[in-house]
Structure 1
Amino acid sequence: MLFSELILAIMKAVNRQRTISSPYHLIKGKKSGQTIQDIGYFSLYPYFGVLPKLDKKAYDQAVQRLFAEGCLLDNDQVVDLSPKAMDLDIAASPLNGWKYRGNENLFFSRLSLIVQTFSHISQQEKTFDPIVINEEVQSWVKKYLKQIDFRDLAVAQAFKKELFTTLTDSGISETHKMIVTERLTGLALSGLTWQQIADSKNLLLLDVQLMWVEALHSWMGVIEQSKPPLLFGLMEGIIQQSSLTETAQRTKKLFDKGFSLEQIASLRQLKTSTIEDHFVELAMNDPFFNYTAFVNPALFEAIIAESRSRKTKRLREIKEHLPEASYFQIRLALAIREEQR
């Protein structure tokens, strides 16, 4: 997937219902109530936080290119796609941002240092400057290497075999594989910079970085499923154990103990609106969430019916026709999973 295709995939989902900057916040992984709820409203889980260091200027330039290509229409208020953009067939992507939440970077840091170590040890080079300077990663890798008896050449060969086998099984393109492997450093061989890879493949810098994330997400999925003895160890702490953000988890624990929304806000010394955000996140992710504590079934059905009949998830538009519903109740109802309705 190219970066422009990523933007369009998100824009197609939110067309005429969100601002032009909403994809930017989603791609960066902003944990605001609006962004979190949009993930559920529009099923945008794969794209969350896939480029956390995305520069706003670079994003704006990509958007301007979409205008120039006739994919976007002038609209100061919301995303407005042209028929050309709506007809574009964007291929499925292996991105899994909500699941990994940026931890592909940790996985690759571990991998990079392990590969560098094997490369040097196999050639009897015992000292080298580590490619990863993060002390926590260095400490983790040292512990891991001791556990697998890394000085045994047979172990190094087994690790290499697992690496190439799982990469092949991931089904990603050769370009994706090259982007991953060209970032690795070994004895007398330095990993390439993003710009060097982009230039060699005639791609934009953001295209290369996004394809790198795609490759890692697909690869980690294969490792998680097949559990190869050596590589699977690198997945420690990588997979999110809860679909909720940490702050929403704390709110859930208090709610499960019987505290009300207002009491939780007081206990946690947070705004009521922030705790409301947490409940919307709970509704979005918990298939057993009981919404009746906040909105009665009749009003819930009315909100869903209004959203469907008008084909919108814009809160203000629904509120205009259901003034008896609060914005929180509308947000909550829209966040409830389809199978619970």
Structure 2
Amino acid sequence: MLFNELILAIMKTVNRQRTISSPYHLIRGKKSGQTIQDIGYFGLYPYFGVLPKLDKKDYDQSVQTLFSKGYLLVNDHVIELSKSALEVSVPPSPLNGWKYRGNEALFFSRLSLIVQTLSHVSQQIKTFDPVVNNEEVQKWVKKYLQQIQFREIAVSQAFKNELITTLTNSNVSETHKTILMERLSGFELGGLTWQQIATSKNLHILDVQLMMVEGLHAWMDLIEQTKPSLLIGLMEGIIQPSSLTATAARTEKLFDRGFTIEQVASLRQLKTSTIEDHIVELAMNNPNFNYEPFVFPSLYEEIIAESHRLKSKRLREIKESLPQASYFQIRLALAIKEEQL
């Protein structure tokens, strides 16, 4: 998937229901209530936080490209795609941003330093400048290498075999796999820069970076499934233990103890609206969530029916039709409803 295709895939999902900047916040992994809720409303889990360092100027440039291709129509309020854009087939992607939430970078940092270390040890070189400067990663890798007895030739060869086998079997293109390998460093061999890889493949840097993330997600997924004896260790702490954000999980514990919204807000010294965001997130991730303390079943049904009638999940449109419902109640009802409109 190329970067422009990523943006188009998101825009096709939220067409006429969200602003032009909403895909940018999603791709960067912004943990605002709106972005988190949109993930659940529209099933945007794969794309969350896949490029956390995305520059707004680069995003705006891609948006302008979509305008120039006639895919985007001028609308000051929401994304509005043309008929031709809606007919474009976006390629499938192994992205799983909500599952990994940026930890693919940690996985690759560990892998890079291990590969570099094994490469130098195989040449009897004991000292070198580490390709990863993060002290926590260095500490983790040192412990891992000691555990696997990395100085034994058989161990080094086994690690290499697992790396090659799993990457070869990953469900991505050869270009994806090549990008991953070209970013690794070894004895007298430095990993290529983003610009070098982009130039060699006639791609934009953002395309290369996105393909790197796609490759890592597919690779990590295979490692998780097949559990190769050496590589599986690199997955330690990579997968998020909860589908909730950390702050929503803390709120959940207080609700489980019987505290009200106002009491939780006071205890956590947060705004009531922030706690409401957490409740919506809880509803989004828990199919057994009891919404009745917050919205009567009859009102819930009205909200869902109106959303279907309007073919929209825009809060303002639903609120205009149902003034008796608060924005929080509308958001909560939409979070509970699972199928897409």
For this structure pair, what is the TM-score category when the shorter chain's length is used for normalisation?
A: over 0.9
> Structure 2 CA distance, aligned partners of 1:105 and 1:207?
17
Structure 2 residue 147 is matched with structure 1 residue 151: no
Contact 2:304 2:337 in 1 (8 A): no
Deviations 1:191-236, CA, capped at 9 Å, x for gaps: 0000000000000000000000000000000001110000000000
2:3 is aligned to 3
> Structure 2 CA distance, aligned partners of 1:293 and 1:48?
30
| Structure 1 letter corresponding to 2:211 | M
2:52 is aligned to 52
Structure 2 residue 207 is matched with structure 1 residue 197: no
Q: Deviation of residue 92 (structure 1)?
A: 1.0
5 Å-filtered alignment, 1:151-300, equals 151-300=151-300
Classify the secondary structure of the residue corresponding to 1:80. Answer: coil
> Structure 1 CA distance, aligned partners of 2:172 and 2:133?
29
Contact 2:41 2:338 in 1 (8 A): no
Equivalent pairs counted in the alignment come to 339
Q: Deviation of residue 337 (structure 1)?
A: 4.2
Structure 2 residue 37 is matched with structure 1 residue 37: yes
> Structure 1 CA distance, aligned partners of 2:293 and 2:253?
16
| Structure 1 letter corresponding to 2:16 | R
Q: Deviation of residue 91 (structure 1)?
A: 1.2
TM-score by length of 1: 0.99
| Structure 1 letter corresponding to 2:7 | I
1:112 is aligned to 112
Contact 1:287 1:337 in 2 (8 A): no
Classify the secondary structure of the residue corresponding to 1:292. Answer: coil
1:134 is aligned to 134
> Structure 1 CA distance, aligned partners of 2:117 and 2:9?
40
Q: Deviation of residue 42 (structure 1)?
A: 0.5
| Structure 1 letter corresponding to 2:104 | E
Classify the secondary structure of the residue corresponding to 1:263. Answer: helix
> Structure 2 CA distance, aligned partners of 1:197 and 1:303?
50
> Structure 2 CA distance, aligned partners of 1:235 and 1:164?
17
Deviations 1:79-129, CA, capped at 9 Å, x for gaps: 010111100001110000000000000000000000000100011111101
Q: Deviation of residue 169 (structure 1)?
A: 1.7
2:301 is aligned to 301
Q: RMSD of aligned C-alpha atoms?
A: 0.7
> Structure 1 CA distance, aligned partners of 2:328 and 2:244?
19
> Structure 2 CA distance, aligned partners of 1:209 and 1:243?
25
Deviations 1:145-173, CA, capped at 9 Å, x for gaps: 00000000111110011111111221211
> Structure 2 CA distance, aligned partners of 1:273 and 1:231?
43
> Structure 2 CA distance, aligned partners of 1:34 and 1:211?
27
> Structure 2 CA distance, aligned partners of 1:146 and 1:68?
55
Contact 1:283 1:337 in 2 (8 A): no
1:24 is aligned to 24
> Structure 2 CA distance, aligned partners of 1:37 and 1:153?
50
2:93 is aligned to 93
Contact 1:170 1:218 in 2 (8 A): yes
Mark the runs of 5 or more structure 1 residues left unpaired by the alignment. none
> Structure 2 CA distance, aligned partners of 1:175 and 1:35?
31
> Structure 2 CA distance, aligned partners of 1:294 and 1:305?
18
Mark the runs of 5 or more structure 2 residues left unpaired by the alignment. none
Q: Deviation of residue 185 (structure 1)?
A: 0.2
> Structure 2 CA distance, aligned partners of 1:238 and 1:3?
25
Task: Could you list the structure 1 runs, at least 4 aligned residues long, displaced by more than 4 angstroms after superposition.
Answer: none
Q: Deviation of residue 39 (structure 1)?
A: 0.3
Contact 2:50 2:213 in 1 (8 A): yes
2:78 is aligned to 78
> Structure 2 CA distance, aligned partners of 1:171 and 1:282?
32
| Structure 2 letter corresponding to 1:84 | S
